[in-house]
Amino acid sequence: MIITYLGGEFVKVQFGDIVLAFNPPSRDSTLKTARFGADIACISLNHRDFNGVDAVTHGEKKPFVISGPGAYEIKGIIVRGFGAESNYGTVERAKNTNVGPAQKDLNTVYSAALEGMKLCFLGALSSPELPAELKEELDGIDVLFLPIGSEGVLTPSAANKLAIALEPRLIIPIHFSGLGDKNALKQFLKESGEEATSAGRWLDKLTLKKKDLDGKEGEVAVLNPQN
């Protein structure tokens, strides 16, 4: 499995000839984007920064789009979506209308099982307090994609709190590039005790096999955004 972080919350996961894309930005977003063909596109939040299905449609390759809760099986990959809440869009709307935040938006948390590993993508999650039934569904996470540092998503301390509760083997921070900032990432690394070990160890992409996770408990892998 090869994991590439493309800025914002845009993540590419490739294994063999199959490609998963999470939260690609649309043409209306201010984020830079990459174009490639994906087999599956998982959209957590219906927002221009995350719903760019066109970006992962290339040539004859058009993705199966998952944009909400449910259970799916595509090309042998099992994907499950769970409803949660996000303030990401409501904060922006409040600024533009000069009124208080409106009702929170639906953010879908995804789990995907492939190559004997369980991936969890939290999307634009805004609170570390998950319903008990969702915590049970997210048991045994191998790789956690964790949003850090911007209005409307997890603060560094909240992200660390949730990571501790979910007990993943490996944590990959997202959102901090293009949408958040690296100061938030630094604070998260400090709170998680990974500040020293992560210094100078940023990766352009992560190649991962199941055996590589043996013995890992909450280790952080920071990926350089490739945009």
Task: Note the pTM of the prediction, 2 decimals.
Answer: 0.93
Q: Nearest CA to 114 among 208, 45, 219?
A: 208
Relative to beta strand 117-121, strand 143-147 is parallel
**Does residue 92 come out as left (phi exceeding 0), alpha (psi in the -120 to 50 range) or beta?**
alpha
CATH number of 2-220: 3.60.15.10
Q: What is the pLDDT along the chain (227 residues), one digit of tens a residue?
A: 999 999 999 999 999 999 999 999 999 999 988 999 999 999 999 999 999 999 999 988 999 999 999 999 999 999 999 999 999 988 666 666 555 555 788 999 999 999 899 999 999 999 998 877 788 888 899 999 999 987 789 999 999 999 999 999 999 999 999 997 778 999 999 988 876 555 446 899 999 999 999 999 999 999 999 97
Question: CA dist 4 to 7, 101, 108, 145, 173, Å?
Answer: 9, 33, 21, 12, 12
Tokens for 227, please give them. Answer: 């945009």
